[in-house]
Amino acid sequence: MTLSSKIAWDDTVLPFQLDLSDIRGRVARLDGALDGILSQHRYPAPIEALVAEAALLTALIGQTIKLRWKLSLQVRGDGPARLVATDYYAPAKAGDPARIRAYASFDANRINPAGDPFAQVGSGYFAVLIDQGKGTAPYQGITPLAGGSLAACAETYFAQSEQLPTRFALGFARSGEPGERWRAGGVMLQHMPKASPHAQGGGSGESGLLRPRDVLSGDELEDWRRANLLLDTVEAPELIGPGVQPTELLVRLFHEEGPRVFDAQSVAFGCTCSPERVRQSLSIYSARDIAHMTTDDGIVTADCQFCGAHYEFDPATLGFEATEPPDDGG
């Protein structure tokens, strides 16, 4: 495979459909976007793995939604990995990349560097938040942390909140190539939404949560099981790349299911922070609150948790009791 063909699929999400199984899906590859996310911080290995998994899930889910502005994932727990947060921003116009960012908050003293990443989240919840922009009411769906991985939590969310059988196969690792860049790849399968009967009562999953067999029946359930068995054969190098192109992977896995691909969406690391946004977030504070935030040097500082950008402000320009207009430096 040539270098150009490798690069062509980096940082893309490829939509596809299995015409003979009534199943849709996505193949995602994150290279520079994921490296941009993780290079902003020096996370312990388990935290890097959680952030990589969450970013990959966000790219896959974000591309399935008719999104006008932003989709976010939040994972909150009572373990040493307290928070993983991601944002996926829809392309500003046709041909533009979608933008993705992510970060984690954790207790470094409690992290087990060799421990299972998901186990270090503890008990908590997995949330999907959709904000379509001004004039719309944000949507939030929450499911408990269960199943042993963030991917399993996302599958439970779709089964429980949307009654859409969903499956993820994910892989992520350092590339081993010069520069040791991060690479990640994944496949998402989802049964096409239909007017299926609403599942009543508890499901067959952990703590009574719904699973695909609680939503599907007959030929639909058989098609779903067959597609999942085929996906079970995928290997990590095929997911992560770059040796296997997404189109080749789909043919290898699902050639008997009638795979059909659509235009790929490019994805890039990007942050929306700005002096104006930081100033707006501080507008709820009084002059007394701002004084408590002011350093000995007479400035208020703020750092973006997503991209690491550093901002400095004149305290007189901040809060709802500001006495000076914003200065040119922020």
Give per-residue pLDDT as tens, 285-326.
Answer: 999 999 999 999 999 998 888 888 889 999 899 988 888 888
Higher pLDDT among residues 65 and 168, named by residue = 168
pLDDT at 170: 97
Distance CA(280)–CA(114), nearest Å, equals 40
Inter-residue contact 12 to 28 (CB < 8 Å):
yes
Inter-residue contact 274 to 42 (CB < 8 Å):
no
pLDDT at 325: 84
- pLDDT value at 116 more than 60: yes
pLDDT at 319: 87
CATH 1.20.1070.10 fits 10-269, yes or no: no
Over pLDDT 70: what percentage of the chain? 88
pLDDT bin (cut points 50, 70, 90) of residue 153 is very high
pLDDT bin (cut points 50, 70, 90) of residue 203 is low
Average predicted confidence (pLDDT) for the chain? 88
- pLDDT value at 215 more than 90: no
**What average pLDDT score do residues 174-185 get?**
72
Residue 66 phi/psi, 5° resolution?
-75, 85
**What average pLDDT score do residues 87-108 get?**
94
- pLDDT value at 145 more than 60: yes
Distance CA(199)–CA(188), nearest Å, equals 23
- pLDDT value at 155 more than 80: yes
pLDDT at 309: 83
pLDDT bin (cut points 50, 70, 90) of residue 238 is very high
Residue ranges, comma separated, of all CATH 3.55.30.10 domains in the chain are 10-269
**Helix-helix angle 45-62:150-157, to 10 degrees:** 30
**What average pLDDT score do residues 256-283 get?**
91
